[in-house]
Structure 1
Amino acid sequence: MPMKQVNLTITFDEEKLSALKRYMGKKELDLDREMTDALVKLYEKYVPAPVREYIDESDVSAAAPSKSRRSPRAAAPKPDQEPEVIQ
């Protein structure tokens, strides 16, 4: 299970944002992707490595038990395959 995502709201000059989007669009760049990349870089710069590792391990640990809780079931046939007939 991925970590819970949040939305951020920031204030920025409307005319500057419009120009930024226009010129990024000319280079086929996505503002949301660039902002996310910038936040990741800030996170890596300011959050100490041991804390980042702890958070990553917590995320992996939280996802692992959910897999073990699943009950074993027969695999469903793939759409392009005929179901196996047992006689």
Structure 2
Amino acid sequence: MKQVNLTITFDEEKLSALKRYMSKKELDLDREMTDALVKLYEKYVPAPVREYIDESDVAASAPARSRRSSKPVTPKPAEEMEVAQ
């Protein structure tokens, strides 16, 4: 799934304090904010819509099948292979 960057405005002094106290508890601000966004997504986006998005994400990440000819490949006989070497 394609990722996007979010930009928000927040008081610089409060952000500095938040980072300082989170680091004392060995917490990551980015991880915590991502977790909060996931909770908001699960709270406000209906389950059927989330399932549809999850299914389309799986389908998009599945490897594409090769578009080769369906003609069977016939191996060369052993004698021809030895002569070719």
Same fold (TM over 0.5): yes
What is the CA distance between 1:68 and its match in structure 2? 2.8
Report the residue type matching 1:47 in the other structure. Answer: V
Alignment of 1:1-80 (within 5 A): 3-64=1-62, 66-69=63-66
Structure 1's unaligned 5+ residue stretches are 72-87
Give aligned pairs, total: 68
User: What is the RMSD computed on CA atoms of the aligned residues?
Assistant: 1.6
Percent pairwise identity: 88
TM-score by length of 2: 0.75
- Runs (4+) of structure 1 exceeding 4 A deviation are none
TM-score (norm 1): 0.73
Q: Greater relative contact order: 1 or 2 (C-alpha under 8 angstroms, separation 6 or more)?
A: 1
